[in-house]
Structures are given as structure tokens and as C-alpha cells.
Amino acid sequence: MSEHVHTQLSNGTGFITLDRPKTLNSLSLDMVRAMTQALLAWRDDASVAAVVVRSSSERALCAGGDIRFFHDVGRGNTQGGSALLEDFFTEEYALNHLIHFYPKPYVALMDGVVMGGGMGIAQGGPECGVRIVTGRTRMAMPEVNIGLFPDVGSSHFLSHAPGQLGMWLGLTGLTVGAADALYLDLADYFVPETELAGLAKLFESTPGKSLRDAVAVFACPHNAFAGDSELEAQRALIDQHFSAGSVPAIMDSLRGDSTPFAQKSLKAMELRSPLMMSVTHELLKRGASLGVSDCLRMERNLVRRNFEHGEIFEGVRALVIDKDNQPQWNPATLAEVTPAMVERFFEPCWPAWAHPLRHLA
């Protein structure tokens, strides 16, 4: 087991506590494996009736995958073919699938930062997911900011968000809080920080078989105090602009709107990878008609293509390694992105029978 993932059983509930605070619980391969091992064991254990995923720190549930690791091991092979890198994404996406279809209540306390891979371990499916946000929640799918694309099943959960909100979240990479998370249907309950000690006591004292209902009774009265959703207020604007047929069309539409929200969205997109925004746009369009398993298989293919291209290396260099925040995207502008470049990301890397996620049902 990983030193950064602590597990325990108490009163019929399995607890997974992420404990890598210096990196905001960024996921390593060992952490993915430790979570998977615990969830597989508890899935078939009749004495475990529910699972709770939480953090040892109030700063973050999980800020995503360990992008410094991606850069370092990927750079070791000019084609991004590191076995460790391949293992990470295959096993992370298999973990996301396991969580989405978990046969027992899966309670995720999304306190603090929840981004990228953190969303993947928080988004239990409709049959199992109990997703709790707090006043400290800072949620985002910011991958286009580092030359990647929204993954960990987001081609499913973003494409199924109301209207064009998922497209807005994926293309801008901007951060939202608790009220917006509820409106996006990426959270179920709001619990203010002042009530988290009581929630922790509830987790410990309630038998696992009753935990889902107990959380609902505890949390429901607080939802009205999550605040107003900016995305709800801007819904018409988002749907209007982000329903345009391409990333250039979306940005052109935003340029014609002088409202602060439209301009904030435009300025964010002007900093992102033109190629990966275009890939993300196509990804979410395709994901809307696919099930979770096929979405994860599609994303796994795109990860391989992304590392072959190398856009993520430049994004991580600019954001994390050199910290100059001046990525040299390739291509540098949207005008240079061709349909063939985008289509290349969706060309199969493996025959169907050899796909690393072929066994996902």
C-alpha cells in the first residue's frame, strides 16, 4: 500500500484517506494502486457496506495526477512511451470505472481543491455516488492549461452537464465553487466548514449500511446555504456562445460580448493550448453519445496521442518546471489547427482486442 493512502474499516464503512498534503494529494501510481486494492477488497466484503474518501488536509481532496511525474518519465522517452506512464493512465482510468460503477455507497468529501484526477476519484455514478462539497471547494478540469485534455471520465460527466456548461468548464479550465458544483450536477450536498466536525462524527458513528441516508438527512438542510451559482446566472450566455460549432466560432462569439463573464471566459481560452482546446471540443461532442466505458477507452487513446505529440511537456514545463507561464504551444494559434491534427488524436492506437481498457464493461 502507498504511504500516502491510509485505509481503515470502522462500523461497516471503509475509509480511504489521502495524505500527500505537500502536493495537494496529487495522485501517484502507488496511490492509484492503493485505492484500487482497497476498493476491490471491500467490493466483495459483505462486512463493508459503504466507502468514504477524504483527505488528511483541508486544502485539497486531490489536485489531480502528478504532472511533474508525467513530465519527468515522459521526457525519458521521446515518444512518451514510458511503461510507468502507460501503467498510470491505464490503472487510473480503470479506477475511475471501478468508482463510477461501485456497488456500494461511495461518499466523496470534496473539501478544498478538487481538480482533474481528483474529480475522477470523486465522481461516483448515480447508483453509488454521494458527493459532498464545502465552502472551501475549488473544482475545475484545467487540463487545457497544461496541454492536456479533460480526462478521468470527464468526456462523460462534462458532456452530460446541463446545456453547454460542461463545454465551458472543459474549454476554459476555470475554477468553480460549491454552488456551481451543485448546479453542474457534479455534487449532491453542501456542508459548511463549521459542520464538518459533525459530519466526521456521523461517518464514525453511523453503521455503513445506513450511511447514505444519514448523510442525506445531515446535509440536505445546508444545501440552501451554498450561495448563488454564477453559472446558473450566466447559463443563457454560456449556452449561446459555447454552442457554436468550433473553438474559433466560440471565441469569435465571445469577442462580440462585452460582459465581464464573457470576457473572463475569452481571456482564459486565449491562454490555453489551441490544439488541445480543439481536441477537447471534439472529445465532449463524441462523449455525449457514449457510455462511461467507451469514454474512458477514448480518453486512454487520446492520452497516448497527446504524449506522442508532446504538448503536455511544454505545458508542464511552463507551469511547473520553469514557471515562466509562457508556453510555446504547437501549433501556436487556432488558425493553424487543422481538422486532420484533431482527427489524429482519435485514430486508434491499438486494435480493439488489444486496447488496455478492453475489459471495461
Residue of 14, 64, 74, 117 marked active site: 117
| 185 given a catalytic annotation | no
Residue 152 contacts residue 96 (beta carbons within 8 Å):
yes
Phi and psi at 67, nearest 5°, equal: -70, -25
Residue of 12, 14, 64, 65 marked active site: 65
Query: Per the structure block, which three cell numbers stand in for 111?
Result: 473539501
Closest CA to 74 of 301, 329, 318, 309: 309
- The Cα-based distances of 56 to 18, 21, 358 in angstroms read 6, 7, 35
Q: In the sheet where 50-55 sits, what is the strand order?
A: 5-10, 13-18, 50-55, 106-110, 129-133, 189-190
Residue of 66, 92, 111, 143 marked active site: 143
Phi and psi at 334, nearest 5°, equal: -65, -35
Residue of 92, 111, 151, 299 marked active site: 151
CA dihedral 48, 96, 29, 114 (to 10 degrees): -100
| 143 given a catalytic annotation | yes
- Residues 169, 186: Cα–Cα separation, whole Å: 12
Query: Per the structure block, which three cell numbers stand in for 353?
Result: 482486442
- The Cα-based distances of 36 to 1, 2, 107, 121, 277 in angstroms read 10, 11, 15, 10, 31
| 315 given a catalytic annotation | no
How many helical (H) and strand (E) elements, i.e. helices and strands, does the chain have?
17, 9
* Structure letter (DSSP) for residue 162: S
| 64 given a catalytic annotation | no
What positions carry a catalytic annotation? 65, 117, 143, 151
